[in-house]
């Protein structure tokens, strides 16, 4: 099982590669929404027939559709393969009918959608991995502690706390108007929770991540000179003495 740090690093590199590819490559068609596989068309058709009323029924319908699709023979699947092909052709036809500016906008939005989907998948995988390995939950900030306290008080007083978009501006304005002294209890509590979180995080890292060992130091082997080189460095005594003798003048 990949530990969270390795998984996070992999996903970051994958996201970076997607961004780099997006900048370098010019796309002829949008990268999303232009295709629908045979199985997806079959599932869509199956859902249209059964019309599940809630999430539970939806999950059961999905399981049924998957089981039926796996049991189909090649001849039965051929129909959906043809529908998939036609779907692609129709999407291309619709795309080609657009203006150049509309094409650029659609391609750009599809690339953004693809990147967002990858980010969402990365967050989901990280969350699942953290749940499996017991990663400690990040502590709330001072502001979050205050918001939680206010919501609990409003609820206890019988005041409506939903929709959140209506209550949140009020609570946020209260926090902004508080003095430093009034915020102090929440700041201290948040700091305490943060320190506790850091301790738990280090314990978690020690449990799930292997210790990082430095690479072995390889000493360079001493370079041994060859016998010929050694002789060149230290010539015999009679050779050096002969070299010192003055040369005889030529007649």
* Arithmetic mean of pLDDT over the chain: 83
73 lies in the same domain as 180: no
Q: Find out whether 44 and 62 touch, Cβ atoms under 8 Å.
A: no
Categorize the per-residue pLDDT at 116 as very low, low, confident or very high, splitting at 50, 70 and 90: very high
> What pLDDT, on the 0 to 100 scale, is given for residue 24?
47
The count of other CB atoms within 10 Å of the CB of residue 69 is 17
124 lies in the same domain as 160: no
109 lies in the same domain as 14: yes
- Which of 114, 133, 152 terminates a domain? The answer is 133
68 lies in the same domain as 147: no
112 lies in the same domain as 20: yes
- Which of 82, 106, 133 terminates a domain? The answer is 133
Ranked by mean pLDDT, which of 21-25, 92-96, 244-248 comes out on top? 92-96
Domains of the chain: total = 2
Instruction: Assess whether pLDDT exceeds 70 at residue 19.
Output: no
28 lies in the same domain as 53: yes
Lowest mean pLDDT among 7-16, 45-54, 79-88, 197-206: 7-16
106 lies in the same domain as 163: no
Residue 109 located in a structural domain: yes
Q: Find out whether 38 and 80 touch, Cβ atoms under 8 Å.
A: yes
Residue 234 located in a structural domain: no
Residue 238 located in a structural domain: no
52 lies in the same domain as 10: yes
50 lies in the same domain as 94: yes
Q: What percent of the chain has pLDDT over 70?
A: 73
Residue 122 located in a structural domain: yes
152 lies in the same domain as 194: yes
Distance CA 209, CA 4 (A): 8
Read off the pLDDT of residues 141-200 as tens digits, 9 standing for 90 and up.
999 999 999 999 999 988 888 888 888 999 999 999 999 999 999 999 999 999 999 999
80 lies in the same domain as 157: no
Residue 52 located in a structural domain: yes
Residue 115 located in a structural domain: yes
Instruction: Assess whether pLDDT exceeds 50 at residue 1.
Output: no
> What pLDDT, on the 0 to 100 scale, is given for residue 166?
87
Domain that holds residue 56: 4-133
Residue 251 located in a structural domain: no
146 lies in the same domain as 26: no
The count of other CB atoms within 10 Å of the CB of residue 80 is 20
Residue 94 located in a structural domain: yes
């Amino acid at each position: 099982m990949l530990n969270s740090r390795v998984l996070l690093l992999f996903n970051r590199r994958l996201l970076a590669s997607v961004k780099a590819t997006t900048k370098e490559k010019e796309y002829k068609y949008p990268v999303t929404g232009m295709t629908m596989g045979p199985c997806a068309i079959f599932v869509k058709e199956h859902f249209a027939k059964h019309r599940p009323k809630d999430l539970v029924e939806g999950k059961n319908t999905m399981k049924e559709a998957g089981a039926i699709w796996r049991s189909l023979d090649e001849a039965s699947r051929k129909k959906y393969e043809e529908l998939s092909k036609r779907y692609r052709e129709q999407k291309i036809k619709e795309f080609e009918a657009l203006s150049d500016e509309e094409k650029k906008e659609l391609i750009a939005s599809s690339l953004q959608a693809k990147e967002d989907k990858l980010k969402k998948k990365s967050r989901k995988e990280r969350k699942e991995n953290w749940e499996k390995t017991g990663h400690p939950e990040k502590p709330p900030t001072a502001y979050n502690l205050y918001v939680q306290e206010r919501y609990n008080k409003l609820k206890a007083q019988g005041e409506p706390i939903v929709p959140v978009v209506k209550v949140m501006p009020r609570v946020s304005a209260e926090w902004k108007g508080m003095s430093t002294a009034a915020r102090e209890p929440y700041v201290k509590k948040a700091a305490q929770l943060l320190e506790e979180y850091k301790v738990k995080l280090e314990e978690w890292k020690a449990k799930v991540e292997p210790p990082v060992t430095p690479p072995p130091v390889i000493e360079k082997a001493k370079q041994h000179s060859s016998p010929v080189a050694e002789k060149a460095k230290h010539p015999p005594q009679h050779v050096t003495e002969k070299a010192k003798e003055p040369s005889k003048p030529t007649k």
